Chains A and B, each alone.
Chain A
Amino acid sequence: MATAAVEAPITGVVPGKATDERVVRRRLGPGPRVPGTLWIGPVLLLGLWFLASATGVLDPRTLSEPWVVVETAQRLIADGRLPEALATSAYRAALGLVIGVVVGLALALVSGLSRAGEALIDGPVQVKRAIPSLALMPLLILWLGIGEPMKVITIALGVLIPIYIHTHNGLRGIDSRYAELAETVGLGRGAFVRHVVLPGATPGFLLGLRFAVLNALLSLVVVEQVNATSGIGHMITLASSYGQTEIIVVGLVVYALLGLVADGIVRFTERKALAWRRTLESH
């Protein structure tokens, strides 16, 4: 800003003494970000929880004390219940995610690269998109029972849609001038897919993956509360019936960590795979 040196007259120029008549307007944007400030809110909330628990304002039956939650987490880790539940849940989510990604990607490629594929695939997927995956659970339970296949397929169905939509979008968004170039340098169909189609659709695919990961987690939470006999969700449901809020909180923290870690992995992959893109972050 050219007016950065002006300090005193910012709030208004005193009449008669006006040596600098420039009107310095208040900036409309929120201003530059101060590092670390994003933590203030969560830390404050945590402090409030501590205070409320310590003074007895907060009934432990409503929400356990923070130190009890930490002790419980340590105990659950030590006796192996938490690692086991976590492993089961993570496996379910990962399996559903992988199946959903592979199927969604395959459908997007077939539909994006041929008119026949589009005619056959795009319509049904758009219809499926209008039905929330979780709404299909009653039908899936009838077909597959309440075991692992139902859980994994529900997760996969929730993953498939964002992967398909965003990859398909990415494919269709590839500049047709690149197809023209590919023709002039004599690329075959396979080389065209490898050099132009796949790299061109990668940004869309990765965006879809970020939504897919969140969807997988959401589906995981829901399927685990329906007749599950293992996993984080089962642990939480059990704790709920015994009124053990400290275990519920531990479970919620684990879900949060799962989500954060998965999102972090996708974002890291994004940075590596899209190094060719000029972004605001890198310049």
Chain B
Amino acid sequence: MATHAGESLTVSAGPAVRVEGLRRSFSEAGGVLNGLDLTIGAGEFVALIGRSGSGKSTLLRALAGLDRSVAGSGVVDVPERVSVVFQDSRLLPWRRVLDNVTLGLTGSDARERGLEALSEVGLEGRDRAWPHELSGGEQQRAALARSLVRDPQLLLADEPFGALDALTRIKMHKLLEKLYAAHNPAILLVTHDVDEAIALADRVIVLVDGVVGSDIRIDLGSKRSPGDPRFASLRAQLLTELGVVEEEVA
């Protein structure tokens, strides 16, 4: 695991994620994360937005334990079972879809669980396909199945729909909502799409210069429509937080 000076990495029940005073820097000049504090409750869906270079991916990689070669300090407290969905599906091209989903699983029921996860994401019958035979959306569904089959307490998603076309992305939003309702992991969704953040998350966090700039609760209920005036005002607020002037987008 990560070995950063003065950092404790512990596993506990309580909140799903607890981050205190997290610092990460890639150079002497300045930090990417500058003493960031963040708590995510168990089963809470949090979207993380921010301009490029604001440290979104760095934070996600710190939570995933993928940044051991980066200098930094702070407290990172994550649950035992963490799954990651990347922007690319990252399916092994030389393994069939089912073997990709069950990669690293042990136990005699691995196959059963894999097939179940595939049917849950709408890929039943594609278990014997090679990854390159799937469309981009289907590959990302398989990646979701691979992360869910591990029954994660925390799901980290780094712009998982960023490379998909608009129609496919809408379908994937529906799928993610369904899976979230069924499994209820805590989710940290990194995205650059403000609408996606408002439509899916319980809370939207705006990252500014490596710290939490604002932390906004979304109380729109389960039926959310971009036409809703409250939706529009949240969007305007978030875009202002991101430093985008409203006239530019209109």
Interface residues of A (CB under 8 A from B): 177-178, 180-187, 191, 195-196, 199-200, 202, 275-278
Contact = CB atoms under 8 A, between A and B. Distances in A.
A-B CB proximity, top 7 nearest: A199-B94, A185-B104, A184-B84, A278-B132, A276-B94, A181-B90, A187-B104
Chain B contact patch, size range: 20 to 34
Contacts of A187: 103-104
A180 B66 contact: yes
A79 to B, nearest CB: 50
Contacts of A195: 92, 95, 103
Most chain A CB within 10 A, of B86, B88, B103, is at B103
> Interface residues of B: mostly helix, strand, loop or mixed?
loop
Interface string B72-116: 000000000011101010101111000000011000000000000
Contact of A199 (B84, B88, B92, B104): B92
Given A183-B65, A183-B66, A195-B95, A275 B103 contact: no
Contacts, number: 47
Interface in B121-171: 130-132, 146, 150
A277 B66 contact: no
Most chain A CB within 10 A, of B64, B65, B95, B104, is at B104
B103 A177 contact: no
A200 B94 contact: yes
Contacts of A181: 86, 90, 92
13 contacts: A180-B66, A181-B86, A182-B103, A185-B103, A191-B104, A195-B92, A199-B95, A200-B94, A276-B94, A276-B95, A276-B130, A277-B93, A278-B132
A275 B83 contact: no
A185 B146 contact: yes
A170 to B, nearest CB: 12
Nearest to A175: B90
Given A185-B146, A186-B104, A278-B132, A178 B84 contact: no
